[in-house]
Each structure stands twice: as structure tokens, then as C-alpha cells.
């Protein structure tokens, strides 16, 4: 299986706003998603809810791949998501600002699906773009 083709198909769904197709295409039902907060369910259902929560605040999310590294059954992605703040986000009222969320994701594949996933996002940078964080209140 060409993992990059699978990733491309999944993010085509993501960019169309079809998060169910995105998660169904890419993630195994029992994926271990190391980034999920404890209040979300485990597995693909939790990944779907994670992105649905983000989509409610930023309904025009658009994924842009910046770089990849593939090694046997693992893929590293560097990407950003362009989006506009159109819904409440973590208690922050709508700003209408266009923002960019820079991220890296590490994926482990088995049987043509992601079985394990790590995600790191620059949420401080996001909050700074939204006007909710400054250098002074980060530390």
C-alpha cells in the first residue's frame, strides 16, 4: 500500500469537510491516538470527535501538507491547517480571524490503516493569532 496515496485521499475528504470519511479512510477503529484528551472516547470515534470539535469553531478548515518522511510502516507529516474562527473556541468568542495551525503528526500503519498516531499542534501560536495569548502570558 502506498501510504501517501491513502493520506492524500483522507485529506481530500478533510478539505471537503467530511470528517467521517476522513477518519474512516485513515484510522483503524481501535487506533491508539496519543493526542486525545481524556474526555473523548478512545479509537477512531475519539479522533472524529476531536476534529468535529475543531470544525465547529473553524468550519472552513483546509489541510496543506508541507513535508513527509516515510520509513517502512511509519509516516511523519508536517502540515498546517488554514481556517477562520467562526465559532466559540475553548471559551474564546468568535473573532472572525483567519489563522494557521501548524502541526506535525506521526503515524504507524498496519493493514493499510493508522494503528497509532501522535499529533503536536502549535496551539500557543493559534491563541496568539486569535489575540488570546501574548509572549508575557505564556510562561
pLDDT tens, position by position, for the chain (139 residues)? 699 999 999 999 999 999 999 999 999 999 999 999 999 999 999 999 999 999 999 999 999 999 999 999 999 999 999 999 999 998 999 999 999 999 999 999 999 999 999 999 999 999 999 999 766 655 5
H/E stretch holding 137 reads: none
Output the pTM of the full model.
0.91
DSSP track, 17-50: T-HHHHHHHHEEEEEEETT--TTSPSHHHHHHHH
pLDDT of residue 14: 98
pLDDT value of residue 137: 52
User: How does DSSP assign 88-128, residue by residue?
Assistant: -BTTBPP---EEEEEEEEEEEEETTEEEEEEEEE-HHHHHH
Beta-bridge mates of residue 110: 113
Distance (Å, rounded) from C-alpha 50 to C-alpha 137? 26
Amino acid at each position: 500500500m502506498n501510504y501517501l496515496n491513502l493520506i492524500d485521499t483522507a485529506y481530500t475528504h478533510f478539505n471537503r469537510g467530511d470528517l467521517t470519511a476522513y477518519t474512516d479512510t485513515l484510522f483503524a477503529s481501535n487506533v491508539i491516538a496519543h493526542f486525545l484528551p481524556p474526555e473523548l472516547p478512545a479509537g477512531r470515534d475519539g479522533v472524529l470527535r476531536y476534529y468535529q470539535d475543531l470544525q465547529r469553531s473553524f468550519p472552513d478548515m483546509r489541510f496543506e501538507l508541507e513535508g513527509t518522511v516515510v520509513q517502512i510502516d511509519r509516516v511523519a507529516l508536517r502540515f498546517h491547517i488554514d481556517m477562520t474562527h467562526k465559532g466559540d473556541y475553548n471559551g474564546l468568542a468568535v473573532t472572525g480571524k483567519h489563522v494557521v495551525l501548524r502541526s506535525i503528526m506521526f503515524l504507524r500503519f498496519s493493514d493499510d490503516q493508522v494503528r497509532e498516531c501522535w499529533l503536536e499542534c502549535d496551539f500557543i501560536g493559534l491563541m496568539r493569532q486569535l489575540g488570546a495569548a501574548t509572549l508575557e502570558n505564556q510562561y
